[in-house]
Amino acid sequence: MGTTRGRGLGIQSPGGLFERYMEEAWEAIADPRKPPPESGPPDFAKVAAVAAKYGIQMVGGPRSAPGE
């Protein structure tokens, strides 16, 4: 987690499951060019629970920022 942009790669088959996971686990952003201000860290327990519901296995985990 940090203040710079990041990228992620998700591969899910059959189609549709990943979309439902994203809709349920994360807050939608109406305009990606104007993201809302950060309100704190994501609720990773919720994200993991929703991922498990859709058969998504999280590999790895959040990395610590340099110096932590």
Give percent of the chain above pLDDT 70. Answer: 81
Q: What is the pLDDT of residue 41?
A: 82
Closest CA to 26 of 53, 59, 62, 51: 51
- Print the SS3 string covering 21-68: HHHHHCCCCCCCCCCCCCCCCCCHHHHHHHHHHCCCCCCCCCCCCCCC
Q: What is the pLDDT of residue 3?
A: 72
- Average pLDDT, whole number, for the chain? 79
What is the pLDDT confidence band of residue 46, given thresholds at 50, 70 and 90?
Answer: very high
Inform me whether the pLDDT recorded for 32 exceeds 90: no
| Residue boundaries of the structural domains of the chain | 17-53
pTM score > 0.75 for this model?
no
